[in-house]
Amino acid sequence: MAIAEPVSRTDTRPGSLLTWPNLLVILGAVLMLVDVYLIFMVAPTDSVLGNVQRVFYFHVPMAIMSFLAFTVVFVAGILYLVKRNEKWDRLAHAAAEVGVVFVTLALITGIIWARPVWGVWWTWEPRLTTTLILWLIYVSYLMIRAYAPNRAQGAVYAAVVGIVGFVDVPIVYYSVQWWRSIHPSAVDGPLSEAGALQPVMQGILLFSFVTFLVLFLYLVLERMGLRSLEDQVRMLRFSARKTGRQR
Amino acid sequence: MLLTIVLATLGFATVGTLFSAIAVQTRSREIMLPVLFFPIVLPVIIAAVEASTQAIGGDGGVGIGRWLPLIGVFDALFLVICPWVFSFVVEE
């Protein structure tokens, strides 16, 4: 079973511990612990909504991070189409996966929050509808990668979906907003009253943003590393099969 | 009303062509096309439905004024983007 042909491109760098992902995961773990402490111990309980309001410190940063992720997908998609460098495709793929995870979590935490506050799990409110569409677009982004005839074409198609999808998001947002403004709804967006936050809450929210930014960067870097390992495995397998056939 | 039909068809066709070109080359293409296409084209559908409702229901074209520009913006953006990325899709 041994691969006879020695493959020169195996990357056997001695594993240094001081890599970016390692640093980020340590930093992220510390920040996350502090963040959870701040959210559950320090943050004042909301006078109207009660304890369920605390989910907000997870919900908002995750939503924003998913927007950041999709912006990265958009930019990396363009760069990949223009430069055809595998690096950009790896970045786009990693950011899209992390973005989908974050937007899913944002939807779920939103649902958890909506049940006690609005009394329903889900309502077709503008922001919810747009987020669901956003989720659909990027799930289809991942699907097109999986279903493409080969990986290179999958990367191109995915980049196209990433670009078109990102351009589409603001339009969807406005269309749904106008749609509802003609048929006004009883419940308004969760952040409709800006400035209602206490300074302490704002500080904690800001801290939460930093925490999730670190988490996001870590996940993307780790995913990119994993993806390049996957590519290596695929290449090794391919060359092994080729040498096997030649014998 | 006529303008709505023309603009909405234009937007639908522009995006539809691009995604058909993608979907036709994938496995399980019957599923991929609607999955890709529907979320993207949703603003055009919403706007076209609303604009035609206004046109038929007839409150003097007040409502149409806000939906037609939306379809127009959508068309303009995708008429620029789709041909550009289409060249990447069809190259082998």
The residue type at A219: L
The one-letter amino acid at B33: L
Domain membership of residue A181 (yes or no) is yes
Quick one: average pLDDT of A65-82?
A: 89
> Alpha-carbon distance A102 to A96, whole Å?
10
Nearest CA in chain B to A137: B39
| Interchain CB contact of B82 with A (< 8 Å) | yes
Q: What share of chain B is helix, strand, coil (3-state, %, to 5)?
A: 85, 0, 15
pLDDT of residue A161: 87
In a domain, residue A4? The reply is no
Domain of residue A95: give its range.
56-185+200-235
Q: Could you tell me if residue A90 is inside a domain?
A: yes
How sure is the predictor about A118, in pLDDT bands with cuts at 50, 70 and 90? Answer: confident
Contacts 24+ apart (CB under 8 A), A202-210: A204/A35, A204/A38, A204/A39, A204/A42, A204/A43, A204/A57, A205/A56, A205/A57, A205/A60, A205/A61, A207/A31, A207/A34, A207/A35, A207/A38, A208/A35, A208/A38, A208/A39, A208/A57, A208/A58, A208/A60, A208/A61, A209/A61, A209/A64, A210/A31
Is A103 part of any domain? yes
pLDDT for B24-58, tens place per residue?
877 777 788 888 888 888 888 888 888 888 777 76
The mean predicted confidence, pLDDT, of chain B is: 80
Q: What distance in Å separates residue A134's CA from the closest CA in chain B?
A: 8
Lowest model confidence (mean pLDDT) among A16-20, A22-26, A78-82, A122-126: A16-20
Measured distance CA(A145)–CA(A155) in Å, rounded = 7
Predicted ipTM beyond 0.90: no
- Phi-psi label, residue A223: left if phi above 0, alpha if psi -120 to 50, beta otherwise: alpha
At residue A20 the predicted structure's pLDDT band, cuts being 50, 70 and 90, is: confident
* A80: closest chain B residue by CA: B88
The pLDDT, as a whole number, for residue A102 is 92
The pLDDT tens digits for A127-139 are 787 888 889 889 9
Residue A93 lies in a domain: yes
d(CA A215, CA A48): 31
Mark residue A84 as left, alpha or beta (left: phi above 0; alpha: psi -120 to 50; beta: remaining): left
* CA separation, residue A242 to residues A3, A5, A237, A239, B3 (Å): 11, 11, 9, 5, 59
Mutate to test the interface with A, among B40, B74, B79, B86 (most CBs of A within 10 A): B40
Confidence of residue B7 (pLDDT cuts 50, 70, 90): confident
Q: Judge whether A50 lies within some domain.
A: no
Shortest CA gap B31–chain A (Å) = 10
**Mean pLDDT, to the nearest integer, of A173-185?**
63
Domain assignment present for residue A13? The answer is: no
When pLDDT is averaged across residues A7-35 and rounded to a whole number, the result is: 71
pLDDT of residue A181: 60
Instruction: Please count the structural domains in chain A.
Output: 1
Decide: A26 and A217 in contact? Cβ < 8 Å.
no
Which among A162, A150, A32, A147 is positioned nearest to A97, based on CA atoms?
A162
Question: pLDDT at position A101, please?
Answer: 93
Q: Give the residue with greater pLDDT, A162 vs A48.
A: A162
What does the alpha-carbon distance between residue A106 and residue A95 come to, in Å, rounded to a whole number?
16
- What b-and-e string marks burial along B29-59, b requiring 16 or more CB atoms within 10 Å of the CB? eeebbebbbebbbbbbebbbebbbebbeeee
Compute the nearest-CA separation of B60 from chain A (Å). Answer: 16
pLDDT of residue A100: 92
**Percent with pLDDT over 70 in chain B:** 91
DSSP A21: H
Residue A175, domain member (yes or no): yes
* Chain A / chain B CB contacts < 8 angstroms: 86
Q: Out of A157, A176, A178, name the one closest to residue B66 (CB).
A: A178
H or E segment to which residue A90 belongs: helix A86-118
Q: What is the pLDDT of residue A180?
A: 64
